[in-house]
Chain A
Amino acid sequence: MEEKTKLMCGKCGVEMAPAPTQFSYLGHVFRTEVLRCPSCGQVFIPESLARGRMAEVETILEDK
């Protein structure tokens, strides 16, 4: 499940690559690079990101 492993889009069979993606939480919108399918845009968020930086930002926004 780590980012370093090569991941393929299940739909397009293309290798996932970092690309800007939009996120929103509690009315705040922001963009960051995560793995996406260059063809269909399917996103992948590894657990380390969800539990790490994303959780930190979520807490910051909740306390803002």
Chain B
Amino acid sequence: MEKRIRDIKDRCLEKEDPFCASACPFRLDVREFIGRMQRGAFNSAFRLFSNTVGFPAIVAALCDQPCRNVCPRGRVDAPISLNLLEKAAIAYAANTGPNSYNLPPKQGRIAVIGAGISGLACALRLASKKYAVDVYERSGRVGGALWNVLDSAVFLEDIRLQFSNEEYGLFLDHPVLDIGPLLEKYDGVYIATGSGGDSFGLGREAGPDEGIPFATSLPGVFLGGSLTGATLMEALSQGLKASLCIEDFLKTGEMRSAKKNNPTRMRLAPGAIVFTHAVLPASGEQYSKEEAAAEASRCIRCRCDACIRHCGLMSYFKKFPGRIAEEVQITVTPGTLDGDGTVATRLIATCSQCGLCGEVCPENIDMGEFLRAGHQAMHEKGAMPWAFHEFWLRDMAFANSSRASFSAPPPSGEKCTSVFFPGCQLGASDPRYVSESFRFLLGLEPGTGLTIGCCGAPALWAGDMALFRKVCETLLENWRQAGCPRMILACPTCLEMFSRYLPEIDCVLLYDVLAGAGRPSPERGDGTVVSVFDPCAARNRETSQQAVRSLLREAGFSLAALPYEGKIAQCCSYGGQINIAAPKYSRWLAEKRSKDGEHPYIVYCSNCRDVFLQAGKPVRHILDVFFGLNGESAGPPAYDERRKRREKLKEDLVRKYWPELEEPGKEGAMDSRNVLTIPPDVREKMNGDRLLEEDALAVIEQCEASGRRVLDPATGHCLGYGEIGYMTQWVEYAPSPEGYVLFNTYAHRMKIELE
């Protein structure tokens, strides 16, 4: 876990500088500068610029804009005119004077050799921090190489203005021939003697990873500027950095060169830039305030944010991978013994683990895998609330119990060459999806057997690896007993589980088989436009994606692409079974996914189908089209109905194909003769709360058997509770001739501890 967290933090590019700032000698915080310019905050934009560059007028006049060459807008329309924006900040800021800092004088005397722009920058920063600074210049004027490139009125005025609040010693016509005497008098020295100037025999002592100015072999002596071959802007920036190196030396006694500017590793998400025209100054030279704000608004303030743009979880909770990794770290390994600070428990249980983040991330960081590992760690510690997954684990237990699950050889008695494994939810969604598919597969290949059950995904999603492995072992054993046949799977999640955890089993998706059968669909789409909503578990199954599309085209449907499909398919919200831990987010996600496309969806995952039915989105399963079922969108099946359908499916299939397998009794089944009558409004409420009819009846019968119940004389109803798994379920009921009438039922997670 620790290693994974470090890996995410190292690889995540969220905190990388934008391209412009990376190319800028001053590493101007362009994102912040642009933000201030966008809202017309010229004063604060100017202050940021001025504080970063030291001499704003000189930099605005001379900057050769390396940012323009790297601005990604340059490849779409035109790079941002940062230099014109800097000039606008200077022009429209109300106060362009330097700040005056009322600080006490500091210990430490510093000599600067050379009054060029690099030496002056170093002197300015140190003087403003109230160190005693003396500048030695061999000529009779300040400015050095600036005289060759810029109107002296501009730079002399900027130098005068920036030093106007500071005191420092300036010694013109004062060449330094020997550095020795300076070392006796001063605690630190910055050598900035300009291009071709004297380096006093001091070579570069810094390592290749260190930047300029660099620490020389003499304590307290640093060297930088045009002397090292730097351009004027680089020289200025090095002077600013030299002040930090010297101050670092004064405080710690360590000789450390400036840090090298490493190029940014930033990557932009595809499609991040939309074409806009560059804003040109109407005056020809300078932006008006409005033009400056408009040009600033063209800047997208580059950030590597593909994950947060595309992932529902990260965009909803506004958390980048680094932040999530930190929160998971303190949750899984809390700093205090009582476990305080487990801030991400719910977040861990909110990820659909769909893999989209890893697909869109330039570094392929898959946060779903990471959160799955976090989930497992929390489960192992017993720190994941049982309530988040209990309902679904009970559903898995039901699906794998003899009430719904069975495994049978080919009805023809032939050697088993394939086994159809529809998974646990396909029959719950619509039993005909299973029965029709099996009938069709038998027609293609009489040696097809049938296994109905769950692949174990709910256990994996709950972080319960022991349970998951147990399910896998049973599946593997059944497969071996069947003679290691090919498995035909209907659920893309099952395929994901099988290919990853049971790689020895040869699997194929049902839809590939249907597309290869060459049988026309009974339906004619007649050009009806639909969109295929690829399930997230099939993002790497291009053959299956194409199989479904070819089935639809052959049936006469027209296809409209969705923004997210194929490789970048999104989860419908079912993945991870997050809807108990995060009901609001889960609903938000399902609604968002429903609105991705305006046309009806065709899905090939029954969970996608049921999620979209619940969200009111017109949707059909590809099996509806292939077998001519559910012409009009059916309603979403309630949880009680889902159980009943699966039980009935087993009964019907066994009766039809394997009458000899019929069992007298079933494990865990209700053998009650009582009929529970439930008014429709109560039934609807129960479904919303995931409370099952059979559990309500079991609680009533417990109450009746034990006599532990409360009577409400006003209504004549009985009230009682029972524990269903970990949950406590209450029932309000009255006896009826057939059994009972249920008037209300509700549940809580807290356990009543009877003394």
Contacts and interface: CB of A to CB of B under 8 A. Distances in A.
B718 interface: yes
Interface string B721-755: 10000000010100000000000101111111111
A55 B730 CA distance: 14
B754 A43 contact: yes
B662 interface: no
A50 B747 CA distance: 7
Contact of B750 (A10, A11, A23, A64): A23
Contacts of A44: 710, 719
B536 to A, nearest CB: 26
B748 A54 contact: yes
Interface string A37-64: 1001111110100110011011001111
B346 interface: yes
B750 A25 contact: yes
A5 B753 contact: no
Interface centre among A23, A37, A57 (most CB of B within 10 A): A23
Contacts of B345: 62-63
B749 A58 contact: yes
Given A8-B711, A10-B718, A62-B385, A41 B755 contact: yes
A45 B714 contact: no
Interface centre among B345, B718, B720, B748 (most CB of A within 10 A): B748
Given A22-B755, A47-B746, A54-B748, A10 B711 contact: yes
Interface in B162-193: none
A18 B714 CA distance: 19
B707 A11 contact: yes
B719 A7 contact: yes
Contacts, number: 94
B750 A9 contact: no
Contacts of B750: 23-25, 54, 57-58
Contacts of B707: 10-11
Interface centre among A22, A50, A51, A61 (most CB of B within 10 A): A50
Contact of A24 (B714, B730, B746, B753): B753
Nearest to A54: B748
B678 to A, nearest CB: 16
A17 B259 CA distance: 74
B469 interface: no
Given A62-B385, A64-B340, A23 B752 contact: yes
A21 B710 contact: no
Interface in A1-31: 1, 5-11, 16, 21-26, 29
A25 B339 CA distance: 15
Interface centre among B342, B707, B732 (most CB of A within 10 A): B707
Interface of B is mostly: mixed
B712 A45 contact: no
B553 interface: no
Interface size bucket, A side?
Answer: 35 or more
A61 B383 CA distance: 11
Nearest to B338: A64
Given A11-B707, A54-B748, A62-B387, A47 B340 contact: no
A22 B730 contact: no
B719 A8 contact: no
B740 to A, nearest CB: 14
B751 A11 contact: no
Given A1-B719, A64-B342, A26 B385 contact: yes
Interface in B322-379: 339-340, 342-343, 345-346
B518 interface: no
Contacts of B730: 45, 47, 50
Contacts of A35: 710
A5 B711 CA distance: 11
Given A8-B711, A16-B710, A41 B754 contact: yes
A47 B390 CA distance: 21
B503 interface: no
Contacts of B748: 45, 50, 54-55, 58
B309 interface: no
Contacts of B343: 63
Contacts of A40: 708
Contacts of A51: 746
A14 to B, nearest CB: 11
Nearest to B341: A64
Interface string B695-713: 0000000010001111111
Interface in B85-104: none
Interface in B609-652: none
Contact of A10 (B339, B340, B710, B721): B710
B712 A5 contact: yes
Contacts of B747: 50
Contacts of A6: 713-714
Nearest to A49: B748
Contacts of A45: 721, 730, 748, 752
Nearest to B729: A50
Contacts of B713: 6-8
A62 B744 contact: no
Contacts of B346: 62-63
Given A7-B710, A62-B346, A43 B752 contact: yes
Contacts of B732: 1
A41 B755 CA distance: 8
Nearest to A55: B748
Contacts of A21: 752-753
A37 B711 CA distance: 11
A55 B727 CA distance: 12
Contact of A42 (B340, B388, B710, B714): B710
Contacts of B721: 43, 45
B527 to A, nearest CB: 50
Contacts of A61: 385
A9 B710 contact: yes
B704 to A, nearest CB: 10
Contacts of A54: 748, 750
Contact of B708 (A10, A24, A55): A10
A54 B728 CA distance: 12
What 3 A-B pairs are tightest by C-beta distance, nearest first? Answer: A10-B709, A22-B753, A50-B748
18 contacts: A1-B712, A1-B744, A6-B713, A6-B714, A7-B710, A7-B712, A7-B713, A8-B711, A10-B708, A10-B718, A11-B709, A16-B710, A23-B750, A25-B749, A25-B751, A37-B710, A45-B730, A54-B748
Given A43-B752, A58-B749, A62-B346, 10 more contacts: A7-B710, A24-B750, A29-B753, A41-B755, A43-B754, A44-B710, A54-B750, A57-B750, A61-B385, A62-B385
